[in-house]
Amino acid sequence: MNITKICCIGAGYVGGPTMAIIAQKCPDIKVTVVDLNEERIAQWNNPDVTKIPIYEPGLSEVVSEARGRNLFFSTDVDGAIDEAQMIFISVNTPTKTYGSGKGMAADLKYIELCARQIARVAKDDKIVVEKSTLPVRTAEAIKSILDNTGNGVQFQILSNPEFLAEGTAVEDLLKPDRVLIGGDTTPAGEAAIDALVNIYSKWVDRNNILTTNVWSSELSKLTANAFLAQRVSSINAISELCEKTGADVNEVARAIGMDSRIGSKFLKSSVGFGGSCFQKDILNLVYIAKTFGLREVADYWEQVIIMNDHQKRRFANKIVSTLYNTVADKKICFLGWAFKKDTNDTRESAAIYVASDLVSEQANIAVYDPKVESEQVISDLEYIGVSEKGRDRVKSYGSAYEACDSAHAIAVLTEWDEFKEYDWTLIYKNMQKPAFVFDGRNLLDGKKLTEIGFIYKSIGS
């Protein structure tokens, strides 16, 4: 089947960049990204392409090239569904906050709403592609909804999970380690798989395009994120032991990372992993294991989350203990609020939880992040239940120099490259004395900022 029209439901961190790359690499395919959020679509259509809603290095250039040619952003969901031959579902699948599976299971209400809308609108056969991270056998539920419309339309369901790392999403899409496509083993299912393979093969080597059954594809995404998060929690557990024994966690990580069986990636000690996927996917994996009565499996993966939460609390406690066991009315500067550099995504950022712990100790938090707006900072704190009084203790600044002025301590929460270029001697001059620095991305110990070279070594390592 030759695909000439694609619709993607969901203009977020996955749908927007993925469709932009497909449009760039396949100029013969009309790609329409739809979302009910009018403000978000307006941002994607902003004439100033540098102000699109998602910051990723290189993304604005890709959007600029394809937008208006064969890449479109719209709120006309029904119209896009109607004309498309292939529909990607890329909506949010947050952890449930209610009912059965609360706190662990994925909330699939948006997925179901999409399926029902497709079923209602579709007048001819469609290929529906799961792009959101979903629990195993979700495709079965989607297919059940679509196959019971009674209008005779035939649907093929594919699983095509994303493996993007925010901050490098464009590079990950252009040069993926692999593209995974799961589908039915029926002739119709294999034809649908081939249609999607043909799209990706416009720029991805076919040897890097893997095809599986749907269930294997869905589980592979959860498992990949769980393994990566496990490595982060593992090195963080060792970091605490290093502090007690006098070992250097960076040296330990370097030593074990040179073992070809282990590798060096995801071995940076930090204040904990964040982002929209790791915690959500592990909790989903835990829930699935518990559903099947696999208690030991569930306990194993749940410990990864427990360790991550512990690391965030430990970092906040380290700040309090270093500042003479009180941070009441002291100014603590947070450099970075996004969960990692080169993205404006703050979901599950460690900075949010460290800030919450510190404002509960009546600290004043000064935030500087080059890509995160002050409104987002306050919204993040409100989302996790920080009171209005607590939120009033948090203020965003337009520069790091302003945020650090008269501060008692600096906590580096995001490893933005620009932090390495600052005049740290000048920053130290305008801080309270003694001034301390806490690098949440490599070391947890507080060091006096008189050791100016420390900041270069820690962020640059």
The mean pLDDT value of the chain amounts to 91
Query: What pLDDT is stored for residue 460 in this prediction?
Result: 45
Percent with pLDDT over 90 in the chain: 71
Q: For residue 306, list its beta bridge partners.
A: none
Q: CA-to-CA distance for 360 and 443, rounded, in angstroms? A: 24
CB atoms within 10 A of CB 70: 19
Q: CA-to-CA distance for 133 and 127, rounded, in angstroms? A: 18
Cα angle 433, 368, 242 (rounded to 5 degrees) comes to 65
Query: What pLDDT is stored for residue 136 in this prediction?
Result: 59
For residue 332, the SS3 value is strand
CB atoms within 10 A of CB 220: 19
Query: What pLDDT is stored for residue 461 in this prediction?
Result: 40
Q: CA-to-CA distance for 101 and 60, rounded, in angstroms? A: 39
CA-CA-CA-CA torsion sign (225, 228, 230, 236): negative
**CA distances (Å), 390 to each of 124, 272, 360, 362, 378, in order?**
54, 23, 7, 8, 10
CA-CA-CA-CA torsion sign (375, 378, 381, 387): negative
CB atoms within 10 A of CB 69: 12
Residues identified as active-site: 162, 221, 277
Query: What pLDDT is stored for residue 62 in this prediction?
Result: 97
Query: What pLDDT is stored for residue 142 in this prediction?
Result: 83
Q: Which of 432, 381, 428, 400 is closest to 334 using CA atoms?
A: 400
**Token representation of residue 309:** 């939460």
Token look-up 């999403």 returns 169
Q: Which of 281, 355, 371 is closest to 319 using CA atoms?
A: 355
Amino acid at 9: I
CB atoms within 10 A of CB 288: 22
Query: What pLDDT is stored for residue 458 in this prediction?
Result: 57
**Are 53 and 45 within 8 A, CB to CB?**
no
CA-CA-CA-CA torsion sign (346, 347, 351, 353): positive
Interval 105-147: pLDDT, tens: 777 788 888 989 999 999 999 999 998 766 556 777 788 888 7
Q: Which of 420, 287, 398, 278 is closest to 349 using CA atoms?
A: 278
**Are 43 and 187 within 8 A, CB to CB?**
no
pTM: 0.84
Helix (H) or strand (E) segment spanning residue 224: helix 214-245
Q: CA-to-CA distance for 89 and 407, rounded, in angstroms? A: 46
**Token representation of residue 282:** 């592990």
Interval 333-369: pLDDT, tens: 999 999 999 999 999 999 999 999 999 999 999 999 9
Q: Please determine, for residue 228, whether its predicted confidence score (pLDDT) is greater than 80.
A: yes
Interval 297-339: pLDDT, tens: 999 999 999 999 999 999 999 999 999 999 999 999 999 999 9
- The strand ranges marked E within 150-255 are 155-159, 179-182, 209-212
